[in-house]
Amino acid sequence: FKLNKLSAIAILLTNSIAMAQNPIIRDQYSADPSARVFGNKVYLFPSHDIPPYTNKNHENWFSMEDYHVFSSENLTDWTDHGIVVTQNKVPWVKPDSFSMWAPDCIERNGKYYFYFPSTPKDSTVARGFTVGVAIADKPEGPYKAQEKPIAGVKGIDPNVFIDKNGQAYLYWSQGNIYAAKLKENMLDLDSEPVILADLPTKGLKEGPYLFERNGIYYLTYPHVENKTERLEYAVGDNPLGPFTVTGVIMDESPTGCWTNHHSVIQFKKQWYLFYHHNDLSPEFDKNRSVRIDSLSFNTDGTIKKVIPTLR
Ligand code: FUB
């Protein structure tokens, strides 16, 4: 993937350089990458696709039973810290539902909060997906899942943002993008969920990710208008909007992976887009792999479109 000159020099200085290559995880499938900078490392919290033949109930669909955490100091060499949360050890998750979809993780007061969607045992909680939390003292775990999911959340793909004033927000999707304030405990909603306003009215199915830069709140999301998902963004001056639809971060895949799902981080002065594609499974787009490319901004704060690279 593309590194700008400064970050390439930084990597050269701090490491013996290795070739940066997409996809970044090659010994297993990985998708829906939520990347976070904790200390001097990037931690990656992706979904974990498994091959369809390993699960006959999910032959042509997503099949996801657990989560691994990875870390890297140079975005090239990744350490797999192993499984941190698995479906049949989460008290509220329907056993063998293979629905451990896109997660996120954030640090607050020295604790790491790992948010993940899945289908609950109790269908009165939500008929489809809801979102739960597991907590650890270190980003690589061990994580302990809460007994119950977060009350009041119906949907998938949690994303958490903590604003400069300490207020935390939870974002998720269910046909629209929803958001609510989180309490200081990071486990309960502190406001009624709202549908974020002034976004596309159709084709917003999943994967919201909010970040802030220079006072601009960027709400980024996959949007499907044609065949596959395109990464787009809207900007606002408040974490709950309203937002103004502003542009495209990455065009839809010409080779047909239906989903794309991403996160955006700044690491060692360079911004990066983490996203996925079915590089290692060209015939089956529910077995995906995480990629990284550099991301940059124009002087007015708009995002320059990212052209995916393989190497
Ligand atoms: O990985 C399963 C689902 O596919 C995610 O939750 C969505 O964002 C899409 O990538």
> Looking at ligand 1, which residue's alpha carbon is closest to its atom 4?
259
> Looking at ligand 1, which residue's alpha carbon is closest to its atom 9?
259
Residue 124 pLDDT: 81
Cβ–ligand 1 distance for 261 under 6 Å, the answer yes
DSSP labels, 225-262: SSSSEEEEEEEESSTT---EEEEEEEPPPTT-------
Asked if the model's pLDDT at residue 52 lies above 90, the reply is: no
Inter-residue contact 243 to 199 (CB < 8 Å) = yes
C-alpha 6 to ligand 1 mean position (Å): 33
C-alpha 62 to ligand 1 mean position (Å): 8
Inter-residue contact 133 to 114 (CB < 8 Å) = yes
> Looking at ligand 1, which residue's alpha carbon is closest to its atom 1?
101
Q: Which of 198, 179, 185, 301 is nearest to 239 (CA)?
A: 179
* CA torsion, ordered 129, 54, 260, 100, to nearest 10 deg: 30
Q: Tell me the ipTM for this assembly.
A: 0.97
Main-chain phi, psi angles of 152, to 5 degrees: 95, 5
pTM of the model: 0.93
pLDDT tens for 185-235 read 999 999 999 999 899 888 999 999 999 999 999 999 999 998 899 999 999
pLDDT tens for 250-282 read 999 877 799 999 999 999 999 999 999 999 999
C-alpha 117 to ligand 1 mean position (Å): 10
Cβ–ligand 1 distance for 288 under 6 Å, the answer no
Q: Which residues are catalytic?
A: 32, 206
